[in-house]
């Protein structure tokens, strides 16, 4: 293992991981702000997490396709192609964002009911979604802006912009939610406005770096062809959790809903972005090396990243298991919610190493443009969580623990499948 290569990868991965972490911070901050409002608000915001992931699936349609193509153009030194692909991707992301938020605003009420929420949690969930739809266009543009910065090897800009956005988000949450008493609407507006400032600055920086411009529809078709499997995969992931909420989590009561919100939107919104940041760094470097015609170097990047992913996974597992109480305490004062969240953390500790390995394999495959491979080894196994979770939680009476163990089992299988596909190395010869 080459130490210079590892140092270079770490230099790319650290800002990328921090950017993903901060990119997800709006959900963490909104979940924390819900604690000022009450358990109903926590259950509402926790439950709509997977609706927002479904929206993100649409946004990733463009971002996931732009990343490998712009990385290859960068590696090949083709500035004209990089400019065309960047301009097309930004325009397409804006169109997709407007369409998604318009639809979500119109169906916010039925969506809350479809999640299995009733009464106050359902009303608060609908209010939060409508408010976010009104101010959420910057959230739609963020993924493609991040993908472009990472593809051209400049993840530091993403980090700086997300740091600014997170600081503004925390300040505005305090003003809108705690001081002004705007409730869940205030949390949504804090997220949208803070992200808007970062997106405007990001567009200005990209204009100076890549000069985005219009290009032929054939280029857009390439972006969408590569992005579609990832978008479908993310959408399927969100829909699986939607059904899980309906059939196996919501029937267990508000404490289980709130625990999922804390565990997924707060705890895993810290660990997963770190894994995914390394994944993005690997994807960008693999794409650039393949674009430069150096497949052996691309494979060396993947090998160098494995011990890093392993170390991160082990640290996350230890933190979840031994630090569960300390990690969950800041997010709730309710004893039932706290106990359920601690259980979530301790059970999910047993899959964190595999999540890290899965994320690394995804980075290798996505960087090479093998997005279909990611889809085939994700969606079917994610779907298997539904009958398994119901059988363990409801059928065998394990309660929430049954759902969490079902998630673990499918994660182990996904890590094995994607790892095998990445290890085979056929992605290094893929033409996109």
| 186-229 tens-digit pLDDT | 989 999 999 999 999 999 999 999 999 988 888 999 999 999 99
Q: What is the dihedral of CA 98, 103, 104, 110, to 10 degrees?
A: 180
Burial code (b: 16+ CB inside 10 Å, e: under 16) for 374-395 equals bbebbbebbbbbbebbbebbbe
Task: Among 22-26, 74-78, 246-250, 316-320, name the one with the lowest average pLDDT.
Answer: 22-26
> 316 or 254: whose pLDDT is higher?
316
251 pLDDT more than 80: yes
Cα 413–Cα 144–Cα 383 angle in degrees, nearest 5:
25
pTM: 0.82
- Residue 412: both structure tokens together: 């182990």
Instruction: Find, among 245, 269, 271, 270, the residue nearest to 258 by Cα.
Output: 245
pLDDT score for 27: 66
Mean pLDDT of all residues in 166-178: 91
Q: How many CA within 13 A on the CB side of residue 392?
A: 17
Number of domains in the chain: 1
pLDDT score for 201: 96
Phi-psi region of 420 (alpha: psi -120 to 50; beta: other; left: phi over 0): alpha
Instruction: Find, among 273, 270, 282, the residue nearest to 418 by Cα.
Output: 282
Residue range(s) defining the domain that contains residue 66: 3-429
Average pLDDT over all residues of the chain:
90
pLDDT score for 250: 81
Rounded Cα distance, 334 and 40, in Å? 11
Whether 282 and 20 have beta carbons less than 8 Å apart is answered as no
pLDDT score for 21: 74
Mean pLDDT of all residues in 337-342: 89
Confidence of residue 1 (pLDDT cuts 50, 70, 90): low
Please report, rounded to a whole number, the percentage of residues in the chain having pLDDT higher than 70. Answer: 98
pLDDT score for 273: 82
């Amino acid at each position: 293992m080459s130490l210079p290569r590892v140092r270079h990868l770490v230099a790319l991965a650290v800002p990328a991981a921090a950017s993903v972490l901060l990119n997800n911070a709006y959900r963490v901050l909104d979940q924390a702000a819900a604690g000022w409002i009450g358990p109903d608000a926590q259950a509402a915001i926790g439950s709509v997490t997977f609706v927002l992931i479904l929206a993100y699936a649409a946004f990733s349609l463009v971002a996931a396709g732009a990343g490998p193509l712009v990385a290859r153009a960068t590696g090949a030194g083709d500035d004209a192609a990089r400019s065309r692909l960047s301009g097309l991707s930004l325009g397409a992301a804006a169109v997709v964002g407007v369409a998604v938020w318009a639809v979500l605003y119109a169906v916010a009420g039925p969506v809350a009911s479809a999640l299995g929420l009733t009464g106050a949690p359902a009303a608060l969930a609908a209010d939060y979604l409508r408010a976010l739809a009104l101010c959420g266009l910057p959230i739609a543009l963020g993924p493609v802006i991040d993908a472009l910065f990472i593809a051209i090897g400049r993840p530091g800009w993403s980090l700086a912009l997300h740091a600014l956005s997170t600081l503004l988000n925390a300040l505005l949450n305090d003003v809108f939610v705690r001081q002004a008493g705007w409730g869940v609407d205030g949390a949504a507006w804090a997220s949208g406005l803070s992200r808007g400032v970062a997106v405007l600055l990001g567009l200005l920086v990209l204009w100076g770096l890549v000069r985005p411009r219009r290009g032929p529809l054939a280029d857009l078709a390439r972006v969408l062809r590569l992005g579609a499997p990832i978008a479908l995969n993310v959408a399927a992931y969100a829909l699986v959790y939607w059904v899980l909420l309906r059939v196996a989590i919501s029937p267990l009561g508000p404490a289980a809903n709130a625990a999922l919100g804390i565990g997924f939107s707060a705890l895993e919104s810290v660990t997963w972005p770190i894994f995914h940041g390394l994944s993005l760094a690997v994807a960008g470097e693999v794409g650039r090396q393949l674009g430069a015609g150096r497949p052996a170097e691309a494979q060396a990047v993947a090998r160098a990243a494995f011990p890093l992913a392993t170390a991160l996974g082990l640290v996350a597992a230890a933190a979840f298991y031994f630090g569960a109480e300390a990690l969950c305490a800041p997010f709730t004062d309710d004893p039932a919610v706290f106990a359920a969240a601690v259980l979530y953390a301790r059970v999910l500790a047993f899959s964190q190493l595999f999540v890290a390995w899965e994320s690394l394999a995804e980075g290798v495959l996505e960087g090479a443009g093998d997005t279909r491979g990611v889809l085939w080894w994700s969606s079917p196994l994610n779907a298997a969580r539904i009958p398994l979770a119901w059988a363990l939680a409801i059928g065998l009476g394990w309660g929430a623990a049954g759902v969490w163990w079902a998630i673990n089992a499918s994660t182990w299988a996904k890590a094995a499948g994607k790892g095998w596909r990445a290890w085979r190395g056929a992605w290094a010869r893929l033409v996109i």
